[in-house]
Amino acid sequence: MNLELFKTELQQELLAILNFWLQHTIDEKQGGFYGRIDNDNTSYPDAPKGSVLNARILWTFSAAYNLTKDPRYATAADRAFAYIREHFVDSLYGGVYWSVTSNGESYDTKKQVYALAFVLYGCSEYYRAFKNEPAKALAVQLYEVIQQKSFDRTQGGYFEAFDRHWKGMDDLRLSHKDANEKKSMNTHLHILEAYTSLYKIYPDEILAKHIAALLTSFNDHIINQHTGHLHLFFDEHWSVKSDTVSYGHDIEASWLLLEAAEIIGDQKLIEQMRANAIKMADAVVIGLDTDGGLWYEYEAKQNRLIKEKHWWPQAEALVGFYNAWQISEQHEYLQYACNMWAFIKQYIRDNKNGEWFWGINEDHSIMQGHDKVGLWKCPYHNGRACIELIQRIEKDL
């Protein structure tokens, strides 16, 4: 595909995604944004509202404003930040709640470190866009809370979750499908992502050391250096507790790890993460189907491929394969990205009602029982892929 045309289509897609969120998700009656909209664009005003969803809305509209300077995106970002600050932040015990009721009362008060990281991430991007000092203060505060409460001073890395009072819990899982273990790849990846974003507005030497330590943990514990895939779950001693391969996380991490190394300017880590990025992209190629899409997961012990194609791995593959092409100049990586974009346009994008479907089955039928908007379904993966590629292509043209 011609890169100029690719960029134009991504600009149009970003506009369409954000228009959907502006038109369908704003909760005029109770404040903030709806907690759930189903596949048919039916909104559920009584649905709980999640901190991860709201943080991702904050990040997306802030990043979109940074790219386009569209005032509508500023208004949406302001709305998201105000709602998070008023309803999700636990002013008594620190951190943020997992969810609130539809009218903003605390609902699930657990402290999932993943959620803290996303609010930190959103606030950092919001500060970049608007120089809002309370947002920067909240971002730094959440960083300090994560380091104080979650960091493992013995083995390194970060623990998953706590109750509202920062005491231990029996169920540490981020979602029902996860293993109930003390450490996960997913939480570490998004702490790294958040710290990288924070470093752009708060270039603190100690923060840089934490970013470097996270990258070292990925290299030493989380990336399987033999296969190029990520280990997903661990006990406190970094013993691996899962054999599932998550193709979407593999390709997402491939570019986020390199970005983090580049942000702190550590040349040794940059070279290490460039090599990892190619290794991980190569490992993901086996998960590509002939239609250009990326399968969801592979369960090694059962030799079972999960033959679903969820929306977010497709978005991350766009960036991950383009990143591999930029590093290596090997054309096949760019072709994978272009094939993925064609697949998204044909099967994942809802060309009738807007946004992207949650995913499709092996026969290309739409997966049922999933939402357009929800605790997990957000404008961040697809919106970020568009923003990231628009910026990268502009530099390459």
Adjacency order of strands within the sheet including 297-299: 244-246, 297-299, 304-306
Q: What average pLDDT score do residues 320-324 get?
A: 98
Q: Compute how many other C-beta atoms are within 10 angstroms of the C-beta atom of residue 12.
A: 11
pLDDT tens, position by position, 32-80: 999 999 999 999 999 999 999 999 999 999 999 999 999 999 999 999 9
Whether residue 388 has pLDDT greater than 80: yes
How far apart (Å, rounded) are the C-alpha atoms in residues 138 and 268? 32
CA dist list (Å): 146 to 24, 109, 139, 217, 233: 34, 16, 11, 17, 19
If 0-12 CB within 10 Å is exposed, 13-18 middle and 19+ buried, where does residue 133 land? exposed
pTM: 0.98
Under CATH, to which class is 3-396 assigned? Answer: mainly alpha
pLDDT tens, position by position, 134-190: 999 999 999 999 999 999 999 999 999 999 999 999 999 999 889 999 999 999 999
Note the pLDDT of residue 157: 98
pLDDT tens, position by position, 3-20: 999 999 999 999 999 999
Whether residue 1 has pLDDT greater than 80: no
pLDDT over 90 percentage in the chain: 99
Which distant-in-sequence residues (6+ apart) come within 8 Å of 365 by Cβ?
Answer: none
Q: Transcribe 159-197 into DSSP letters.
A: --EE-TTS---S---SSTTS---SEEHHHHHHHHHHHHH
How far apart (Å, rounded) are the C-alpha atoms in residues 44 and 5? 38
pLDDT tens, position by position, 269-320: 999 999 999 999 999 999 999 999 999 999 999 999 999 999 999 999 999 9
CA dist list (Å): 51 to 107, 185, 189, 319: 11, 20, 18, 25
Q: Are 313 and 301 in contact (CB under 8 A)?
A: no
Residue 347 per-residue DSSP state = I
pLDDT tens, position by position, 282-293: 999 999 999 999
**What sign results for the dihedral spanned by CA atoms 214, 92, 378, 395?**
negative
pLDDT tens, position by position, 334-385: 999 999 999 999 999 999 999 999 999 999 999 999 999 999 999 999 999 9
Residue spans per domain, the chain: 3-396
Q: What average pLDDT score do residues 86-91 get?
A: 98
